[in-house]
Each structure stands twice: as C-alpha cells, then as structure tokens.
Amino acid sequence: MRRRDFITLLGSAAAVWPLAGHAQDSDRLRRVGMLMSNTASDPLGLSRVSIFRQELQELGWKEGRNLKIEVRWSGGDASRINDYSAELVKFVPDIIVANGSPVLAATEQATRSIPIVFVVVNDPVEQGFIPSMAHPGGNVTGFSFIDFPLFGRSLQLLKQMAPGVTHVGFMFRPADHPHYDTKLKSLAADEQVLPTELVSAPVTSNAEIENQVTKLAAQPGGGLIVPAGTFTLAHRQAILASVAQHGVPAIHSYRAAVVEGGLMSYAPDTVDIFRRCASYVDRILKGEKPADLPAQAPIKFELVLNLKTAKTLGLDLPPTLLALADEVIE
C-alpha cells in the first residue's frame, strides 16, 4: 500500500471510530430498579409504572435493547420494603426509582452511591431526605407529592361537601410519617380550622382502621381525612369498606379511592408525577448527576367527587364544589 493511501485510510477510520463508540455507548444496556408502594395487582400502581415505561420509550429507551427495568411491589409492607431495597442494590442498577417515603428511607439506607429518583414523597425536605428542593445534593433527587398545608385545603373541601362535620380524624401509620403528629397540632390550632376538632387517628392494621372509624362514627359530626401514605394506599379497601359501613364522610389523597367508591379526593395527579419522573431518569442515564437536578413539586392537582357515594351518605353536592371538580363519578 502506498503511504498516501494508508494515511487516507487511517484518517477515515479515525473519523468513524468515535461515532461507533458513541453508538455502542448509547445502546449499552442500562438498568433501572423500581420499588413501588402498591401491590402488584393494584390498578393504580400498574398505571403508574405503565406511564413511566411509555415516557421512557418516547425518550429513546427500549426495554430489551438498551434498557432493563426491574420492578418490585412492596404493598406497603415494611419488611418487604427493606428486603426489596437491599435486593435492588445488589442488582447494581444505574438508577433506583423510590416510590413513597418508607421506600425512600429504606433505599437511602441501602445505598449512598447509586442515583435515587424519588417519586410521590410527602415533604421531602421536612422529612430530612434532602436539604432543599433547589439543591437536593448527594445521590437523591425527585418529585414530591403533598406538603402538609394542603390538608388544610382538604378539610375545607370536606366541610363544603359535608357541612355537619365537626370532628375529623387524620388517619396514617405513625412509622411512615412520624412528623404528622407535630404538623397536625399546628393545623388543628389554625383559626381557619376552628371550630372543627382535628384529631390523630393512627393505624397499623385493618382492625385498627375499623376501630378508628367506629370511634369517629360514634361522635356527632364525624369525618375523616386519609392523607397520602404507603400503608393507607395499600389498605384503602379496608378504609373504604369501614367508612361506607359507618356512614363517615371522608376525603382521600388518591383518585383511585374515589373510583373505587370513596366520597372525594383532592391531591396531585400521581400518574402525571410518574410521567415527569421519567425525564429525570433519562437525564441521569445520559450523564447528569442527581445533585444537579432540583427536586420538583407537583404541577397538576385534581378534585374528584363520587356523586353516588354522596347520595348514599345523604349529602347534596354543592354547586360551588361541583364547579371546582375536575371529575365527577356518577
């Protein structure tokens, strides 16, 4: 081969090699671990994972080609959350998506190096998961769900639907949200809340759910707020059955509860939050660091009412509330 031809060939190869290397890198199989708060059969959880997968596909990530997603379903069980967190870390994923406060707490304990994108986590700064929304730092960023002051609005909406409500329970599992008791006292002292009595209704089992609802029903003007939580999400059927049996008006934090027979819900759209979460997973897979991605608050809220349940409880749907509703289930 003549020297000039050899140099031309060498130059052409050099121009191709970086492109080939880039193609191989973009097609390299990436791994995403997901630890969900729902059970594997929960339609709400399935819809969340489905929109997450669809959004990643639109961003160029094809499962089986350049992406593998490992999903674990905890059903709100604390032991499963810990076991699955450790299992996903051993999977050595490029990213872990952590759904809910207990899941995020366990995942943070399991790894300080693998990027974590949290999704649907209440008050992540207040709970100490990140130092600030603008600068999350470390290996964690993500998408929050409900800030505690939102429950003041939930109480207002519940009283619009059921004006006779004067004694309201706030149902949650203390291990999942230890800060709720302190926040609840602050909310109960708010002049806008008075003269409504707002009390803690801690639960750790279906039997305790029944007991708390029975106590609320025994007092005149009993009502219930069911805040967002891993336990209350997984046990929402028990909550729905109990409030229906005792005729207690309740407002929930998930649309799914109203679709399944609950009276009303007011909260951010969780499916939309999972859709947005995919964009951060995409950016981290492409090289950005979690510490450089500000944590995001919800942008889409929805008020959902169940007309049939209102009629069963003897409640008339106020026109002002109907005008505010994003969805009315008949």
Helical (H) or strand (E) element with 266: strand 264-268
Q: At what angle do helices 43-58 and 270-285 cross, to 10 degrees?
A: 40
pLDDT in tens, the chain (330 residues): 444 444 444 344 333 334 333 333 456 899 999 999 999 999 999 999 999 999 999 999 999 999 999 999 999 999 999 999 999 999 999 999 999 999 999 999 999 999 999 999 999 998 899 999 999 999 999 999 988 888 889 999 999 999 999 999 999 999 888 878 877 877 777 656 656 888 999 999 999 999 999 999 999 999 999 998 889 999 999 999 999 999 999 999 999 999 999 999 999 999 999 999 999 999 999 999 999 999 999 999 999 999 999 999 999 999 999 999 999 998
Question: Distance of CA 193 to CAs 158, 170, 189, 190, 321, Å?
Answer: 12, 13, 7, 5, 18
Of the candidates 188, 193, 178, 153, the one whose C-alpha atom is nearest the C-alpha of residue 229 is 178
**Distance (Å, whole) CA 257 – CA 275:** 20
**Distance (Å, whole) CA 59 – CA 14:** 30
**Distance (Å, whole) CA 207 – CA 145:** 28
pLDDT recorded at residue 20: 36
**What's the first-to-final CA gap in the chain, in angstroms?**
82
Neighbours of 173 (CB within 10 A): 22
**Distance (Å, whole) CA 174 – CA 202:** 6
Neighbours of 65 (CB within 10 A): 9
Question: Distance of CA 293 to CAs 125, 133, 138, 160, 252, Å?
Answer: 15, 9, 11, 39, 31
Q: Are 321 and 162 in contact (CB under 8 A)?
A: no
- Sign of the Cα torsion 75, 199, 227, 34 reads negative
